Each structure stands twice: as structure tokens, then as C-alpha cells.
């Protein structure tokens, strides 16, 4: 699907430790964004925004620790860096993980409580058309071992729901989805994120 969106100033990073990061890079590049795969603190220092992809949240958390990326990412988030978290990325950005592993660390970047694999295991994956605030036509969402949002804070804007459950939400410059927008030909959600990045980078310039 063709999408027109302003290319953001600077570079959009994609966390490239585990998960479907290649697909995110491809979509962002198609939309005209300059991208960088982020594996080290030096990589992070060169980006203006970050995409945290799907994957396995506990494995990703372990790799964030070994790559010494937790604290640098936390500092950037605390100072307003735009971030888009999908599936496992949503879990890592949530303020509370209801069934998290002992010692599991998150970033608390968006005031939501989530449950890992809240929709079931791999065999329970599904696809659904959802209505998204700001989009004229339904969005075909792919849910794979998706986290389920159990509650949202007062400052969180829910942009889409499935069967009464929030599946796309935003708080400030933080955007999260419980599904995998990188696995479809519909790039409108990445375009939405790039508009967030464009606004943030233009304001900071």
C-alpha cells in the first residue's frame, strides 16, 4: 500500500538483537527513512528514534543486558526519544508486565500493564481487520504470540482495539502495538510513527 509521509530528520534506529528487525528496516527504508541497525551503545548514539521489534521478550531482555544497552536506551527514552514497540517491544516498553520473569527489566515508557503471550501460544496466532484512529480504512493486523493489554493509564491514547482489548496505543512519542505491522504490505502504522519522529525532530531542531 502506497503511503505518503514526511521523511524524518536524522536516523531511525531498529533494535537488531533478535526478532523481526530486518522487516522493520525494509519498511522504513521504503518510506524514505534513513535507518540504522542498533546493536551497541555507539549505534544508539547515532539515531534520533528507535523501533523495538517483536521477538521473545525475555531473550531480548537478556541480550539488551549483554549488549549494555539498557541504561543508554533508558536515558534516551527519559529525554523523549520517539520509540515504536511491536509485540515483544511493547512488553519491554510497558510500565508493568503482569506475568514477567523474576528480575525481568523493562523501560516503563508507556503506562500500560501487559500479559506476555496473553492471546496464547504460537498455534493461537491469528489475523484480524481492526479500525485504527486516524486511518480511513481497516488495518489487517497479524497477532503472533501477542501480549495482551490489561489496563492503560489516563495519559495513554488507545488507537485501536480488538474485541474490547487495546492493541495499539500511544503516550507522547511512544507508540506500541501488540501485533506485527512489519509483516504486512500496509505501511500506514510505520508512516504514523515517522510522523511522530518528524514532529519530534523538527521541534528539537
Read off the DSSP letter of residue 164: T
Residues 180, 187, 190, 198: which is the catalytic one? 180
Residues 182, 187, 190, 198: which is the catalytic one? 182
Residues 22, 24, 37, 87: which is the catalytic one? 87
Q: Is 56 a catalytic residue?
A: no
**Alpha-carbon distance 64 to 61, whole Å?**
5
Q: Is 140 a catalytic residue?
A: no
**CA-wise closest residue to 156 among 121, 187, 101, 113:** 113
Q: Is 68 a catalytic residue?
A: no
* C-alpha to C-alpha distances, 17 to 13, 55, 63, 115, 170, nearest whole angstrom: 12, 9, 7, 22, 24
**Alpha-carbon distance 75 to 59, whole Å?**
21
Lookup result for grid cell 512488553: 91
Give catalytic residues, as residue numbers.
87, 180, 182
Amino acid at each position: 500500500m502506497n503511503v505518503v509521509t514526511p521523511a524524518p530528520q536524522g536516523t531511525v534506529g531498529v533494535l537488531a538483537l533478535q526478532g523481526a528487525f530486518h522487516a522493520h528496516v525494509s519498511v522504513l527504508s521504503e518510506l524514505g527513512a534513513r535507518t540504522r541497525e542498533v546493536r551497541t551503545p555507539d549505534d544508539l548514539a547515532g539515531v534520533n528514534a528507535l523501533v523495538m521489534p517483536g521477538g521473545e521478550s525475555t531473550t531480548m531482555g537478556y541480550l539488551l543486558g549483554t549488549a549494555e544497552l539498557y541504561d543508554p536506551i533508558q536515558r534516551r527514552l527519559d529525554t523523549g526519544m520517539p520509540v515504536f514497540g511491536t509485540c515483544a517491544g511493547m512488553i519491554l516498553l510497558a510500565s508493568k508486565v503482569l506475568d514477567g520473569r523474576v528480575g525481568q527489566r523493562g523501560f516503563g515508557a508507556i503506562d500500560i500493564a501487559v500479559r506476555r503471550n496473553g492471546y496464547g501460544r504460537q498455534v493461537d496466532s491469528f489475523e484480524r481487520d481492526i479500525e485504527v484512529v486516524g486511518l480511513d480504512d481497516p488495518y489487517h493486523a497479524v497477532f503472533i504470540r501477542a501480549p495482551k493489554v490489561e489496563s492503560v493509564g489516563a495519559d495513554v491514547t488507545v488507537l485501536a482495539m480488538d474485541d474490547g482489548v487495546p492493541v495499539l496505543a500511544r503516550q507522547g512519542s511512544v507508540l506500541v502495538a501488540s501485533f506485527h505491522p512489519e509483516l504486512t504490505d500496509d505501511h500506514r502504522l510505520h508512516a504514523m510513527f515517522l510522523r511522530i519522529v518528524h514532529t519530534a525532530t523538527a521541534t528539537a531542531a
